[in-house]
Amino acid sequence: MWRGIRDEPRRFTLAVVGSCLFGSLVIGQAFVVGDIVEDVVSPALAPGGNVTTGALVLSATVLIAMGLGRVLGIFGRRLGAGFMQFALQARYRHEVTGRYLRLPLSWHQRHATGTLLSNANSDVEAAWLPVAPLPFAVGTVFMLVTAVVALFLVDWAMALVGLVVFPVLFVMNVVFSRRMAPRTARAQHLRAEVSAIAHESFDGALVVKTMGREDLETRRFEVRARELRDALISVGRLRGLFDPLMESLPFLGTLAALVVGALRLQAGAIDLGQLVQVTFLFTVLAFPVRAIGWVLGDLPRAVAGWDRVERVLEATGEMPYGTGGATGTGPARLSFQQVHFGYDTGQPVLHNVSFTIPAGKTVALVGPTGSGKSTIATLATRLLDPQHGTVALDGVDVRDLSSDALAATVALVPQIAFVFDDTVRGNVALDRPGADDDRVWQSLTTAQADTFVTRLPDGLDTALGERGTSLSGGQRQRVTLARALAGQPRLLILDDATSAVDPRVEARILASLRGASHAASILVVAYRRATIALADEVIYVEQGRVVAHGTHDELLSTVTGYADLVTAYEKAEAERERDAGYDSDDAAVREEEVAA
């Protein structure tokens, strides 16, 4: 809470001032009502009593003025507290999301997506729940202290009633918070688990449907949903016991004050106005005291939410960027120098990897499954950092480059094509400076995507749906490639980025890339023999080591493992093409091939 106050001091001050104004007027009103009863009401009800019009007007005016002041205090308190709560939630959602973007892939791979969504949403929301009633509670504490002093000024006997009631309220709140904390922590944890299961089921909808796992996924979700239900019922049951006690205690205090006050009035120790003042104070304090209960009631859930948010904000593994700018113009030179890397300690994936991609050249990275090809591509774009060794662009360590310089230099087209729920133009341009329609069409043409985009209902303005569900696999891959090209990178990395595309279309894509007006160095993780043959050089890796490099023909004749692998790939490709396993979405392209 103190962190929130430091972040939003002005809004908190406004809310507390409004709350204190409200509390001061509530206490003041008790004394005004007591005086009115003693000096105006009681004489008017007495036999032969008479009250002047001026006294009545003055009493009404004072009460109305105090009422308007209370309205002003309530307005300031709610305005300040509401703005403060929503500002803090927005700020920390932004901070959590920003931390996600700065943390490396290795950290994300250890955390479920549903949990991360829960951290940024429900956990942040829970963390700042007590902010709304907090200023009211602070004002209430001020009000209680002032009220106790006022009670002693009126009568010590009735003041003792307040000294008993108010501490009991605090003790009850402390007991409640201690019992509630583990319940709310478990509920927050289960919220994240339910979110994770739901996200995984939606994300894997195709697998769930095709494998007939609907019942199993339903049961898996139902188990966690019921556990969350039971956890929330446990929270509600404790709150259902606590809330009536908190409601009734101030009224029991009022009753006790009336009994003591009546005895004191009989004894002549106080007058009627003083009795009204004290009982009125107990009555009006019943509701504000609840504000303390609201804060303490929300604190256990807030603490649980904040613990989960803080774990994200303090997560290690951040990859800070340097301050270096662009390393040059034209195609970039990529070099790996004795690079070691492993996802898990003690299990390295790459061992002493060293190679260079000359500026403007196309290099194919070939190797069996699990040999480290995708890891090399990931390191080249600095989604991960090597544990030892250096990855450099034009001789500059990528860790020394700023994020903008790195993004402007290198573009990765990954194995799995991701398409945003946006138009074709939005997916390709990404609102980058200079990415106008001319560049978008140029990129689509180079990626051999212009033909099917032209046939779409609204062309560049066609909405592609979530994850590009309206496109085939090969179309998604070509849109993703066009997106990378629209940024005019100096180094283009293709990690099996055309696997769903017909081999003949893929050959045309690679030919277009090499002949593009904005030439780039190209590192392509390749499987097809025709693709490999187009490369200027081939790097062959096995078990995380560079075994050989040279031209395709050189490796084919000198490296047995390479020859066997390429031959096996070629046979598999032939069988797949014969079984029509490739994306055949472009009838027009097929017709062009026949015509050629």
Task: Examine the pLDDT at 67 and tell me if it is beyond 70.
Answer: yes
- What angle (nearest 5°) sits at the alpha carbon of residue 100, between those of residues 322 and 372? 70
Please give the full DSSP string across 548-585, using - where no structure is assigned. Answer: EEE-HHHHHHH-HHHHHHHHHHHHHHHHHHHTT-SB--
Query: Which tens digits make up the pLDDT trace of 303-349?
Result: 888 888 888 888 876 677 888 877 677 888 999 999 998 876 667 88
Helix axes 134-154, 156-203, angle to 10 degrees: 170
Lowest mean pLDDT, pick from 25-29, 128-132, 182-186, 498-502: 498-502
Task: Examine the pLDDT at 139 and tell me if it is beyond 50.
Answer: yes
d(CA 117, CA 110): 14
Most confident of 120-129, 145-154, 267-276: 120-129
Pick from 138, 136, 174, 187: nearest CA to 302 = 187
Tokens coding 560: 């047995």
Say what the pLDDT of residue 515 is. 67
Beta strands in 264-380 (DSSP E): 334-341, 350-357, 362-366
Say what the pLDDT of residue 290 is. 67
Top pLDDT among 312 and 29 is at: 312
Most confident of 83-87, 191-195, 410-414: 83-87
Whether the CB-CB separation of 178 and 299 falls below 8 Å is answered with no
Most confident of 158-167, 382-391, 586-595: 382-391
What pLDDT band is residue 596 in, cutting at 50, 70 and 90? very low
Top pLDDT among 484 and 147 is at: 484
Say what the pLDDT of residue 579 is. 59
d(CA 168, CA 291): 15
Say what the pLDDT of residue 468 is. 76
Query: Which tens digits make up the pLDDT trace of 552-580?
Result: 888 888 888 888 888 887 776 666 666 55
d(CA 312, CA 121): 13
DSSP 460: G
Pick from 360, 370, 339: nearest CA to 537 = 360
pLDDT exceeding 90 applies to what percent of the chain?
Answer: 11
d(CA 344, CA 450): 43
pLDDT exceeding 70 applies to what percent of the chain?
Answer: 91
Say what the pLDDT of residue 581 is. 52
Say what the pLDDT of residue 591 is. 44
Task: Examine the pLDDT at 375 and tell me if it is beyond 80.
Answer: yes
Query: Which tens digits make up the pLDDT trace of 170-182?
Result: 777 777 777 877 8
Q: What is the overall mean pLDDT for the chain?
A: 82
Task: Examine the pLDDT at 595 and tell me if it is beyond 60.
Answer: no
d(CA 539, CA 320): 30
Q: What is the mean pLDDT of residues 256-268?
A: 83
What pLDDT band is residue 284 in, cutting at 50, 70 and 90? low
Q: What is the rounded (10 degree) CA torsion for 160, 161, 165, 168?
A: 50
Top pLDDT among 111 and 485 is at: 485
